[in-house]
Amino acid sequence: MQSLLVFGGNGFLGKRICQEAIRQGLKVTSISRSGQPPSSSNAGDLKWIEKVNWKSADIFEPDSYAGSLREADHVVHSMGILLENENYKKLLNGGSFELKFGANPLEKTDSGNFTYERMNKESVLILAKAFDTVKKANPRTSLSYISADNWNPIITDGYINSKREAERELLKFKSFRTIVARPGFMYDENRNASDKRHLVQSTLDFFNWTNKTLLGNSIRCVNNMIRPTISAQQVSRALIAKINDPSFSGILHLEDLLKN
């Protein structure tokens, strides 16, 4: 049985990667700071959650997960930040969408560790170097990186630049297959209609429909700004399929992911 180690396996996308990997018959371990599984009242989620080995470790401290890394055939980095503000995930995933009198999620926080450079780039390169050390040129193994489609014009250049810089460095490794996934805005197929991701998804889907129907996707600059949304489940299916394909390495563009 092939083993998969998911960093950030209790996160929004990470949990669906774990779920799909379990469905495909892989042995799955999740690494996160808390070491806790995602909370869910969904009976379907509870079935796969109990099959995952949930562990606590710090991605910036390879010694804290060295044993798990040695046992892994495949590794997924499903971590990172969209904004350099530690509050934005709470605003997006929490119960209130009232930003009028709250903190501005586009403002940076004072934390020197919560930066694009550290969270989106440095974290995965530390992981890749550690994996490279323990695997010693086994091309059947893989390291997957959740990058991003250049879908959102309001996000600063620092976000996408940190992702692309990480991609370039990862693709230089030869001891394992590097798989880069570039999803756009993600939603969960098991979402609640009042969920804020659902509200954002609905808005983006409307713009995408308008671009396709009225403009025929004929204006390049509009196409670059208005991109399709994608479910976390679609991304997970595409990623696990490529992890299981020993001949694949490289980039999964948004259009590739949408086929699943």
State residue 215's pLDDT score: 64
In a domain, 205, yes or no: no
**Where residue 18 sits, what CATH number does that domain have?**
3.40.50.720
The answer to whether residue 210 sits within a structural domain is no
pLDDT at residue 88 greater than cutoff 70: no
Average pLDDT over residues 34-54: 91
Domains of the chain: total: 1
The candidate with the shortest Cα–Cα distance to 182, out of 170, 196, 164, is 164
Beta strands in 117-247 (DSSP E): 142-146, 177-181, 186-187, 230-231
Mean pLDDT rounded to a whole number for the chain: 85
pLDDT level of residue 159 (50, 70, 90 thresholds): very high
Name the residue range of residue 120's domain.
3-192+229-257
Q: Which two tokens stand for residue 250?
A: 């490289």
Q: For residue 1, give the 3-state DSSP assignment.
A: coil
Q: Both tokens of residue 252? A: 């999964």
Residue 173 sits at φ, ψ, to 5 deg, of -70, 140
Q: Which residue has the higher pLDDT, 95 or 13?
A: 13
Mean pLDDT throughout 237-243? 98
Single pTM value for the model? 0.85
pLDDT at residue 87 above 60?
no
Average pLDDT over residues 178-183: 98
pLDDT at 89: 56
220 in any annotated domain: no
